[in-house]
Amino acid sequence: MNAKPIRIEFSQDEDDDGRPGVDTQTLTVYVADAGGGPYLVIETARWAIDDIDELADMLRTFQRTAVD
């Protein structure tokens, strides 16, 4: 992966299992490198989606921003 060291955080309101205004969901995507070359990290405690394309679109946004 040829990527810039970048971190993008996405956020959304809670889903039906959450408490309104309290359980905002965040998903962080960033590039890390522990010495063996850069790799993609996706970090979240919870991220609920109705359509897999939503997640694919977020990763494409990251790709357009981070990859040379």
Residue 52 has pLDDT above 80, yes or no: yes
Q: Which residues pair with 48 in a beta bridge?
A: none
Residue 68 has pLDDT above 80, yes or no: no
pLDDT of residue 31: 92
| More confident of the two residues 1 and 58 | 58
Give pTM, 2 decimals.
0.79
Give per-residue pLDDT as tens, 2-50.
777 889 999 998 776 656 666 789 999 999 998 888 899 999 998 988 8
What residues contact residue 47 under an 8 Å CB cut-off, 6+ apart? 12, 25, 26, 27, 55
Backbone angles phi, psi at 31, to 5 degrees: -100, 130
